[in-house]
């Protein structure tokens, strides 16, 4: 089931020539799945050269042809979703239904970009002289490099690749070392859809060496990264020093505001479902739960009762509703968040204890009365922990929700139009969802503000960072 791992360079699936190697682990049992190919500098040079050569032709490829290939990609994604999802679960751990859903969502991303890439319009600007024609052209910027994470190993990589290719750019992808098969199977789909060689390359190995080498290359025009804010800061600095354009999709610490006039049943169902999806390893995951004081205790107990229905287990088991954490190091991290919150006065309501045995399992955990100085309320837990605090007024809760340097997603539940208006206008976030969980669709912009990054993926903004505007004025 788990494939033999290769890189994809110049239209061929190849081994790495780097000296080191690394095992890819199964998070459900900590067993070795495969050995990760390690790129050498010469491998990276071949990826750079093939991308640069391919760009010379791909940038002139008519949009209708780019669109046709992306539609074929969507078709192949749907055909291969079951197998791709099951492989994704083996290396990342999420329940197989979630994994298949992640892969299928990329068929929608492919179709969105197939439609939108035919609407990359320039414009004619009325000139001051009758014999002068002024036009603003949109042109693909060139060879791009994408660094994608392990939490949504297929969809977070796909968002970058499909936008670059749809815009007429070429792209070198370095997926997470923990989840390499997902991006290799993605390369196979683009290959089988007839994408010309060199338009899409996949490399793997030492993240630090690869990013340093590629970002310093004069061939590369842009980078896109999804991952932690500390790594994002490092890559953005390197990109800045080398004058590369950047898209940064970084960490988050989403506040949830539940007003006393909310539909409690719906809020509990929605929020438990999304909080513990992917074992909470989602950058837009609801994390700090602010609940209005007069419904606080009732909400916490109803939320916790719902949490107890979650079935933790191996992602390949169809009855599992929450899998393990992707890496073993994250289990100790979770315990640190819980112990610190409790030592500082927080109350453990359910979960909160590291189980024994194989696999990176950690129970869905609910904390209440979490003090502001707790690690949990300041650093991104990126795991299956919900922390509750009461609030009294909208003014107070907006101040607390905006307190952190993160600004990715935020949520609110209220039946009051004026509360919804005040909250959506008052929150410092790139995305706000009110009375439902409605983010990360192909047709809607995805991205953050403050230290959650910049740039947008998806929506009508999706090609912006892969295009340059050329102004042409011509006297006849």
Ligand X SMILES: O=C(O)CCCCC(=O)O
| Beta carbon of residue 448, minimum distance to ligand NDP (angstroms, whole number) | 9
- Identify the residue among 228, 402, 403, 424 touching ligand NDP (CB under 6 A): 228
Residues forming contacts to ligand X in the complex (CB under 6 A) are 105, 149, 151-152, 155-156, 226, 282-284, 440
CB 258 within 8 A of CB 459: no
Nearer to ligand NDP, 83 or 228 (CB): 228
Among 37-45, 77-85, 136-144, 146-154, the segment contacting ligand NDP (CB under 6 A)? 146-154
Among 245-253, 286-294, 412-420, 467-475, the segment contacting ligand NDP (CB under 6 A)? 245-253
Residue 353: CB atoms within 10 A of its CB come to: 11
Among 60-68, 82-90, 143-151, 395-403, the segment contacting ligand NDP (CB under 6 A)? 143-151
Note if 249 is an active site residue: yes
Site for ligand NDP in 208-227 (CB under 6 A): 208, 211, 226-227
| Beta carbon of residue 137, minimum distance to ligand X (angstroms, whole number) | 33
Site for ligand NDP in 368-387 (CB under 6 A): 380, 382
Residue 355 binds which one of ligand NDP, ligand X, none, with CB within 5 to 8 A depending on kind? Answer: none
- Which of 175, 191, 231 is CA-nearest to residue 24? 175
| Beta carbon of residue 446, minimum distance to ligand X (angstroms, whole number) | 7
Site for ligand NDP in 100-119 (CB under 6 A): none
**Of 249, 428, 451, 457, which is the active-site residue?**
249
Residue 382 binds which one of ligand NDP, ligand X, none, with CB within 5 to 8 A depending on kind? Answer: ligand NDP
Note if 283 is an active site residue: yes
Q: Is 286 in the site for ligand NDP (CB under 6 A)?
A: no
Among 8-16, 58-66, 205-213, 317-325, the segment contacting ligand NDP (CB under 6 A)? 205-213
Binding residues vs ligand NDP (CB under 6 A):
147, 149-151, 176-178, 207-208, 211, 226-228, 230-231, 234-235, 249-251, 283, 380, 382
Q: Which residues are catalytic?
A: 249, 283
């Amino acid at each position: 089931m788990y494939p033999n791992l290769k890189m994809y360079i110049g239209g061929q699936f190849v081994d790495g020539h780097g000296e080191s190697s690394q095992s890819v682990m199964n998070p459900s049992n900590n067993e070795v799945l495969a050995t990760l190919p390690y790129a050498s500098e010469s491998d990276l040079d071949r990826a750079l050269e093939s991308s640069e050569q391919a760009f010379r032709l791909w940038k002139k490829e008519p949009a209708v042809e780019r669109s046709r290939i992306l539609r074929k990609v969507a078709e192949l994604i749907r055909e291969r979703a079951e197998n791709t999802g099951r492989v994704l679960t083996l290396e990342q751990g999420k329940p197989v239904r979630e994994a298949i859903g992640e892969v299928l969502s990329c068929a929608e991303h492919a179709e969105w970009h197939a439609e939108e890439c035919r609407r990359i319009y320039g414009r004619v600007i009325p000139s001051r002289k009758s014999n002068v024609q002024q036009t603003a052209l949109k042109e693909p910027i060139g060879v791009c490099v994408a660094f994608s994470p392990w939490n949504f190993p297929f969809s977070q990589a796909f968002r970058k690749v499909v936008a670059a290719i749809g815009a007429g750019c070429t792209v070198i992808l370095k997926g997470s070392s923990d989840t390499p098969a997902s991006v290799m199977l993605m390369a196979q789909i683009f290959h089988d859809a007839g994408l010309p060689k060199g338009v899409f390359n996949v490399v793997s190995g030492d993240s630090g060496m690869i990013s340093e080498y590629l970002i310093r290359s004069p061939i590369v025009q842009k980078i896109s990264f999804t991952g932690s804010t500390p790594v994002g800061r490092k890559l953005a600095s390197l990109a800045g020093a080398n004058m590369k354009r950047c898209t940064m999709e970084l960490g988050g610490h989403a506040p949830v505001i539940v007003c006393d006039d909310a539909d409690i049943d719906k809020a509990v169902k929605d929020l438990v479902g999304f909080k513990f999806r992917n074992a909470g390893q989602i950058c837009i995951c609801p994390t700090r739960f602010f609940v209005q004081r007069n419904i606080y205790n009732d909400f916490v107990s109803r939320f916790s009762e719902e949490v107890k229905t979650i079935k933790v287990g191996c992602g390949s088991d169809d009855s599992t509703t929450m899998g393990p954490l992707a890496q073993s190091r994250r289990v100790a991290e979770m315990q640190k968040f819980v112990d610190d919150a409790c030592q500082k006065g927080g109350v453990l309501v359910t979960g909160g204890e590291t189980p024994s045995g194989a696999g990176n399992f950690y129970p869905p955990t609910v904390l209440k009365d979490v003090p502001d100085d707790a690690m949990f309320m300041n650093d991104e837990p990126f795991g299956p922990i919900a922390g509750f605090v009461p609030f009294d007024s909208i003014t107070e809760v907006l101040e607390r929700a905006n307190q952190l340097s993160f600004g990715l997603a935020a949520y609110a539940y209220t039946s009051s139009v004026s509360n919804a208006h005040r909250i959506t206008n008052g929150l410092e976030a790139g995305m706000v969802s009110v009375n439902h969980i409605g983010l990360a669709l192909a047709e809607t912009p995805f991205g953050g503000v403050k230290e959650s990054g910049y740039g947008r993926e998806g929506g009508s903004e999706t090609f912006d960072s892969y295009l340059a505007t050329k102004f042409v004025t011509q006297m006849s």
